[in-house]
Amino acid sequence: MSLRTTTDRLVAEVQTRLTGRTRPTLLAGAVLVIVGSLLPWLTFGGYPGQLKSPFFFGDSGVRIFTLLLSVAFLLALFALPGRRKAGIAASLGMVAITAGTFLSVLNERGGLGAFAVGIFLTGIGSVVALLGFLALPPDVEPGRWRRKPQWVELLIVSGAQLALLLVVVYALDVGTDDGARSSRIIGFFLFIIAASAAVHALGVFAGISTLYRRHRGVTIAAGSLAAAAFPFLISEVQDGSAYWIRVAASIGVFAAAAIGLNIVVGQAGLLDLGYVAFFGIGAYVAALLGNANLTTSNIDLPFYIVIVLSAVVAAILGIIIGAPTLRLRGDYLAIVTLGFGEIFRLVAQNYDKLTRGPNGISGVPNLKVGSYDFGDSHTVLGVDLPYFANYYFIELLLIAFVIIVFTRLATSRIGRAWVAIREDETAAQAMGVNTISMKLLAFAIGAFLAGGAGAINAHVATQVSPDSYTFLESVTLLAAVVLGGMGTVAGAILGSAVLIALPEKLRTFQDKRLLFYGIALILMMRFRPTGIVPNSRRKLEFDDADPTSGDAVTQEQPPSTGKAVMAQ
């Protein structure tokens, strides 16, 4: 509490001192930041002569990010609702980027001699800007977007998807080919956080998500197109390197499993801490039946049979585990599933006759469906696609299937029964919901989907071993669901993408990447506990519980009621 009061007092101090002088303060900040970002920051590395891509800020430049953030100054010129918060977010981002660069260069190169005048100008300017934005009068909450012409709305919807795709591709590409990787990557992530906070404060995300809801079909089409375009773009940007496509292939499998887990946790509210076991069972079944090199069986079944078998075996095990334990509630179920996950791993590790123990089954061949070999790379539209792209595309199909299952179930009688169980099991039972069989169904469907995803994973990873199915993996799956937003499909996909790509991206930090991963989990939950894409129902509940954000609840109400009242 004391921390909060101290900052409050500081802000009040700034406001009294700068009243009536916000305009010149902001102007001074803007000039300093912009000029500072255009000038070189460091005295080595050929500044500003080297004109490398993308912009002439190439090299180790993070100056482009402060320059882009300075767009926020434009907001101050117009009395946009939400401009104070947006401005504060942007200038905090600028402060963080300059300070981060300063510290990392100081640490790596030693001494102040490395710095040129630009970094100091930007640093001072961003602090001045922060003070200026703090001194602005409190914001008007950004309202809902007015209806725009159909074509504008569609343009926004598809443009947003395209922008997301480009940001993702840039995020993956950034820092792969220049010397000062870490400072550039950190700079970029700080930029993304600050920029999204600023855009969020202006109410843009809320606006876009209403548009998404209004134009569901176009959203899905644009999203699928963007997802399909991803391998082409990344392959082009990365000069045909297979690295990120391989990562994307693992994200795809993971996302399919995460959506399955979302049924169990997000819909039915059953906390499953051993979900990865079903994923692992699917993988083991696929490896055993899929003619791996180092296997204990020598069975070679076609893949479309194997994947169904994997899923069915996982579902049967889910029922066997679930039947006696689903009578338990809440945390007891969590620990039982955790126990089951551990048992699976330990059995896989020790039952050599079937699983080949800790070594696992390796040499799982590439998929062959008919005469199509997934191990071949292709050139489509002049772009060389590494063979992982094949898996990526089949996973898109799998995800599409899973999404259809998920959404159809969620809006059905079964889905409503799950939500009822999640909210209040006793009440649901009283209302005639057969809670045990509904919970069992959720468990079995979750296991079924995980088993199918696991079967594909066995082929993508070319081997299965007990190490891949640890408690940490279960946690990561759960974290993907919670992080993305419980009960939403987009959330599960985004969450898995972030959680798989982030450690890969943090590989530059080698040893420290798990450390950062831990910090990232803590921070995400601290600042956005409902997840990136919150379920609208859940969001309402959460806002309701928090008396400080009462405004948000009223905003959630559909605008039509207001209009109707006025019409009367």
Q: Which C-beta is closer to another protein: that of 13 or that of 331? A: 331
Tracing tokens 């190169």 back to the chain, one arrives at 109
The CB-of-492 to another protein minimum distance in angstroms stands at 13
Least Cβ distance, residue 469 to another protein (angstroms) = 15
- Taking the complex as a whole, how short is the minimal distance between the CB of residue 265 and another protein, in angstroms? 7
Closest CA to 293 of 467, 462, 465, 453: 462
User: Please, which residues have CB within 8 angstroms of residue 3's CB and are 6 or more apart in sequence?
Assistant: none
DSSP state of 27: H
Residue 362, φ and ψ in degrees, nearest 5: -120, 175
Least distance from another protein to the Cβ atom of residue 513, Å:
9
* Residue found under tokens 């993304």: 192
Residue with Cβ nearer another protein (20 or 547): 547
547: cis peptide before it, omega within 30°?
A: no
Contact present, 426 and 420 (Cβ < 8 Å): no
Q: In this structure, are strands 383-385 and 378-380 parallel, antiparallel, or unpaired?
A: antiparallel
Nearer to another protein, 108 or 424 (CB): 424
To the nearest whole angstrom, how small is the minimum distance from the Cβ of residue 85 to another protein?
19
- What is residue 293's DSSP assignment? S
Whether the CB-CB separation of 364 and 458 falls below 8 Å is answered with yes
User: From the CB of 536, what's the least distance to another protein, in Å?
Assistant: 14
CB of 277 to another protein, least distance (A): 12
> How far apart are CB 260 and another protein at their closest, in Å?
17
Q: Closer CB to another protein, residue 347 or residue 397?
A: 347
**Whose Cβ is closer to another protein: residue 222's or residue 338's?**
338
Q: How far apart are CA 225 and CA 171, in angstroms?
A: 19
Pick left, alpha or beta for residue 152 (phi over 0 → left; psi -120 to 50 → alpha; otherwise beta).
alpha
Residue 190's nearest CA partner among 65, 365, 73, 87 is: 65
- Which of residues 24 and 529 has its CB atom nearest to another protein in the complex? 529
The two tokens of residue 553 are 């609840």
- Looking up tokens 């981060």 gives 100
Between 376 and 544, name the residue whose CB sits nearer to another protein: 544
SS (H, E, C) 312-324: HHHHHHHHHHHHH
Distance of closest approach, residue 350 Cβ to another protein, in angstroms: 5
Give me 501's structure tokens.
Answer: 């790509």
Contact set with another protein (CB under 8 A) = 265, 269, 271, 324-325, 327-332, 334-336, 338-340, 342-343, 346-347, 350, 425-426, 471, 475, 478-479, 482-483, 486, 511-512, 514-515, 517-522, 524-526, 529-530, 538, 542, 545-546
Please state, in angstroms and rounded to a whole number, the distance separating the CA atoms of residues 59 and 45: 8
Closer CB to another protein, 231 or 487, in the complex: 487
Nearer to another protein, 400 or 525 (CB): 525
Q: CA dihedral in degrees (386, 390, 395, 398; nearest 10)?
A: 170
Q: CA angle, corner 511, sides to 506 and 515, nearest 5?
A: 70
**What's the min distance (Å) between Cβ of 239 and another protein?**
33
* Closer residue to another protein, CB minimum distance, 475 or 490: 475
Cα separations in angstroms, 122 against 45, 325, 389, 419? 19, 60, 42, 51
